[in-house]
Amino acid sequence: MLSREQELELIDALRGVHPDEFGLDEELWTRQSLTTLIQRRFDLPLDVGAVGAYLRAWGLGPREPRERACGLCVSAVERWVRSEYPAITRAAQEHLAEVYWIGRVRLRGTMPAADVISAVSSRGRVRFMITTPTVDPPLPRDFVLRLSGEEERTVHLIVDGSWPRNEWPRRLPRRIVLHPLPSCGRVIAAA
């Protein structure tokens, strides 16, 4: 297991950098790429499951759509899942695309503070990056483009209330389709 000091060092090392900057063959951080980095950096052989436990402790991983909504929006999100989400999954299947749920959480207990922007696929695959929080940061264009990968896969991205629509990247390639999860505009604080 990582010591708390090693965990904080790891979070700091991940801040604003991507796996390819460490010579890893991934666009964004995953459990596997993080496992490899921990092995290299700390000479600590953790399995992917143990690294997944760290990610869950950081607030990453699959969440129900209603968990992505503020208390005022839960019923709107539940209606959206019944009425809109099936059409998104059908369109994704037709294009052999992946569906990702995108959100942001604040990591507590780090100095300086850190935000984790994550995308969780409908299959449960977590891809993420760590940033230094700023006041009302936009949804990072680089993050969205990296989800599509070098292969330029088509992706459907469901964006939670972490970013208002006017903070979404503009002029994205057609292969990247953004869908808003209903939100009253309140930022969801998690983890």
Q: Which residues pair with 101 in a beta bridge?
A: 120, 158
Residue 173 binned pLDDT confidence (cut-offs 50, 70, 90) = very high
Higher pLDDT, 61 or 12: 12
Average pLDDT of 88-117? 90
- pLDDT digits over 103-125, tens only? 888 887 888 888 999 999 988 88
The reported pLDDT for the residue numbered 123 is 86
7 has pLDDT over 80: yes
Higher pLDDT, 89 or 191: 89
Least confident of 3-17, 25-39, 67-81, 118-132: 67-81
DSSP E strands, the chain: 98-107, 114-121, 126-131, 155-159, 176-180
76 CB contacts (<8 Å, ≥6 apart)? Answer: 69, 182
Q: Which of 15-24, 55-64, 182-191 has the highest mean pLDDT?
A: 15-24
Residue 185 binned pLDDT confidence (cut-offs 50, 70, 90) = low
Comparing CA positions, the residue from 129, 142, 119 lying closest to residue 15 is 129
46 has pLDDT over 90: yes
Residue 190 binned pLDDT confidence (cut-offs 50, 70, 90) = very low
Tokens encoding 12: 């700091």
Amino acid sitting at position 134:
T
Look over the chain and give the mean of its residue pLDDT values, rounded to a whole number. 88
The reported pLDDT for the residue numbered 188 is 45
Higher pLDDT, 184 or 39: 39
- For the chain, what are the domain ranges? 4-57, 65-180
189 has pLDDT over 50: no
The reported pLDDT for the residue numbered 59 is 82
11 has pLDDT over 90: yes
How much of the chain is helix, strand and coil, in % rounded to 5? Answer: 40, 20, 45
